[in-house]
């Protein structure tokens, strides 16, 4: 089955054995009658499993070319489940260019439980070897990174991880499985904030994990059930509905992302534009190799280069809404330094490029000319 068919049918052979409904019923139930203890139709209690959630999980496994998936109450809850694979003394190698909430979870929660995090620069990734020691257990990467749009070579990192028997987890939120499938490139775990492109309509907070190894799936399922950060059935239904149009939405996000990136680049008031589709983007070749297109996220700075100029521009936008989050059908604009990445110390975030003047756009699927015109008027045209 090709990807554009999988979004609609993947993992969803028989969603309703009772009435053959085309969409899965929303099983709004906590529990299921048992004939005798342990004798039931596959579901005993909705933390452990729910039929609506099961359809979504099977769909996710299919989209990412994995074998098992688990859904969680948020993207961060999904990341939290991966970290629970670790024990005190274990070490994690990750990059300094990360979603601020992920950084906060690592440094403000798990570091207190005796897990050590090494935040390395992207250009040190090729020398990942030198950060590996016997305690290293996990490599965590995002690609494209939030919000600097750096691209990490998943295949190259996975080769090193495999050699040292480390787990490689890839946050695939920005790319989605439409653009890139990390398990095929050697990753062990794919994570999504399904809140973003998978849900696609800015109406659900959710996270997912996908794996292709039975034992890893067993361990993560144990954590999902034992810790209990599961999503409700209504939300699973909504994300599943979102997934059914993922391929069409992503195609338009990519087209509009390209139009916006080009228009910004050609504007005299704009200084730097971060978008991996530019042939002079430092990781353009890697992006071309591992992604089908370049996505709908674009970050930039204006020539004035101050927080005031960034905030002034953000306030002048009419179609783009000033808001956290991304990946919905509507265009959003954000100020990473004070919003999504405020939990990263200034010095550290500025080292990765998240300066006070940076603006991040989640380019929606409205008319591309309207979006470009909105940016132009906010830039003072």
For position 146 contacting ligand P1T by CB under 6 A, the verdict is yes
By C-beta, is 203 or 324 nearer to ligand P1T? 324
By C-beta, is 340 or 352 nearer to ligand P1T? 340
Give min distance, CB of 126 to ligand P1T, in A.
23
By C-beta, is 148 or 167 nearer to ligand P1T? 148
Is residue 103 part of the annotated active site? The answer reads no
Give min distance, CB of 302 to ligand P1T, in A.
20
Size of the site for ligand P1T (CB under 6 A): 18
Give the interface segment with ligand P1T, choosing from 222-230, 269-277, 322-330, 366-374 (CB under 6 A). 322-330
The C-alpha torsion from 40 through 41 and 47 to 52, rounded to 10°, is -160
Is residue 265 part of the annotated active site? The answer reads no
- Total residue count of the chain as it appears in this document: 381
> Among the options 80, 97, 171, 293, which is catalytic?
171
Task: Give the pair of three-digit tokens for residue 264.
Answer: 């910004």
Q: In what order do the strands lie in the sheet with 332-334?
A: 270-274, 297-302, 359-362, 332-334, 321-322
What is the three-state SS of the chain?
Answer: CCHHHHHHHCCCCCCCCCCCCCCCCCCCCCECCCCECCECCCCCECCCCCHHHHHHHHHHHHHCCCCEEEEECCHHHHHHHHHCCCCCCCEEEEECCCCHHHHHHHHHHHHHHCCEEEEECHHHHHHHHHHCCCCEEEEEEECCCCCCCCCCCHHHHHHHHHHCCCEEEEECCCCHHHHCCHHHHCCCEEEEECCCCCCCCCCCCCEEEEECCHHHHHHHHHHHHHHCCCCCHHHHHHHHHHHCCHHHHHHHHHHHHHHHHHHHHCCCCEEEEECCCCCCCCCHHHHHHHCCCCCCEEEEEECCCCHHHHHHHHHHCCCCEECCCCCCCCCEEECCCCCCCCCCCHHHHHHCCCCCCCEEEECCCCCHHHHHHHHHHHCCC
For position 381 contacting ligand P1T by CB under 6 A, the verdict is no
Is residue 171 part of the annotated active site? The answer reads yes
Give min distance, CB of 101 to ligand P1T, in A.
5
Residue with CB nearest ligand P1T? 75
Sole binder of ligand P1T in the list 251, 269, 325, 343 (CB under 6 A) = 325
By C-beta, is 269 or 343 nearer to ligand P1T? 343
**Residue in 117, 112, 109, 108 with CA at minimum distance from that of residue 90:** 117
Is residue 13 part of the annotated active site? The answer reads no
For position 269 contacting ligand P1T by CB under 6 A, the verdict is no
Give the strand pairing for 270-274 and 332-334: unpaired
For position 328 contacting ligand P1T by CB under 6 A, the verdict is no
Give the interface segment with ligand P1T, choosing from 12-20, 49-57, 70-78, 347-355 (CB under 6 A). 70-78
Give the interface segment with ligand P1T, choosing from 68-76, 89-97, 208-216, 365-373 (CB under 6 A). 68-76
Sole binder of ligand P1T in the list 15, 54, 55, 76 (CB under 6 A) = 76
> Among the options 53, 137, 196, 360, which is catalytic?
196
Near ligand P1T in 154-213, by CB under 6 A? 171, 173, 193, 195, 205, 207
Near ligand P1T in 336-365, by CB under 6 A? 340
Give min distance, CB of 17 to ligand P1T, in A.
32
For position 74 contacting ligand P1T by CB under 6 A, the verdict is yes
For position 99 contacting ligand P1T by CB under 6 A, the verdict is yes
Sole binder of ligand P1T in the list 324, 367, 370, 381 (CB under 6 A) = 324
Give the interface segment with ligand P1T, choosing from 114-122, 177-185, 240-248, 318-326 (CB under 6 A). 318-326
By C-beta, is 12 or 208 nearer to ligand P1T? 208
Bridge partners (DSSP) listed for residue 142: 171
For position 16 contacting ligand P1T by CB under 6 A, the verdict is no
**Residue in 266, 223, 217 with CA at minimum distance from that of residue 78:** 223
Residues near ligand P1T (CB under 6 A): 74-76, 99, 101-102, 142, 146, 171, 173, 193, 195, 205, 207, 324-326, 340
Which residues form the catalytic set?
47, 99, 171, 196
């Amino acid at each position: 089955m090709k990807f554009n068919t999988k979004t609609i049918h993947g993992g969803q052979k028989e969603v309703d054995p009772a009435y053959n409904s085309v969409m899965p019923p929303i099983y709004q139930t906590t529990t299921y009658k048992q004939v005798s203890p342990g004798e039931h139709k596959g579901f005993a209690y909705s933390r452990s499993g729910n039929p609506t959630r099961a359809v979504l999980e099977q769909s996710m496994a299919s989209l990412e070319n994995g074998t098992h998936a688990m859904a969680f109450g948020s993207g961060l809850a999904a990341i939290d489940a991966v970290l629970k694979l670790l024990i005190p003394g274990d070490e994690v190698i990750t990059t300094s260019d990360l979603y601020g909430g992920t950084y906060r979870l690592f440094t403000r929660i798990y570091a207190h439980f005796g897990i050590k995090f090494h935040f390395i620069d992207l250009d040190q990734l090729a020398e990942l070897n030198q950060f590996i020691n016997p305690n290293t257990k996990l490599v965590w990467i995002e690609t494209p990174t939030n919000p600097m749009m750096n691209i990490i070579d998943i295949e190259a990192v996975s080769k090193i991880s495999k050699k040292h028997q480390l787990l490689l987890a890839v946050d695939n939120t920005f790319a989605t499985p439409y653009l890139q499938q990390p398990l095929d490139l050697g990753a062990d775990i794919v994570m999504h904030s399904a809140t973003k492109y998978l849900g696609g309509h800015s109406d659900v907070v959710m996270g997912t994990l996908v794996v292709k190894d039975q034992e890893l799936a067993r361990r993560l399922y144990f954590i999902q059930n034992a810790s209990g950060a599961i999503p409700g059935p209504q939300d699973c239904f909504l994300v599943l509905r979102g997934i059914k149009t993922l391929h069409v939405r992503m195609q338009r996000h990519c087209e509009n992302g390209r139009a916006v990136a080009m228009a910004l680049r050609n504007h005299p008031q704009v200084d730097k534009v971060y978008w991996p589709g530019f042939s002079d983007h430092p990781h353009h070749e890697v992006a071309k190799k591992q992604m089908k297109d370049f996505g709908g996220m674009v970050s930039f700075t204006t020539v004035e280069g101050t927080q005031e100029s960034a905030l002034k521009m953000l306030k002048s936008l009419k179609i783009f809404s000033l808001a956290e989050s991304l990946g919905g059908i509507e265009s959003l604009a954000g100020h990473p330094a004070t919003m999504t990445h405020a939990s990263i110390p200034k010095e550290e975030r500025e080292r990765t490029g998240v300066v006070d003047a940076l603006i991040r756009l989640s380019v929606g699927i409205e008319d591309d000319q309207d979006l470009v015109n909105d940016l132009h008027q906010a830039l003072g045209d």
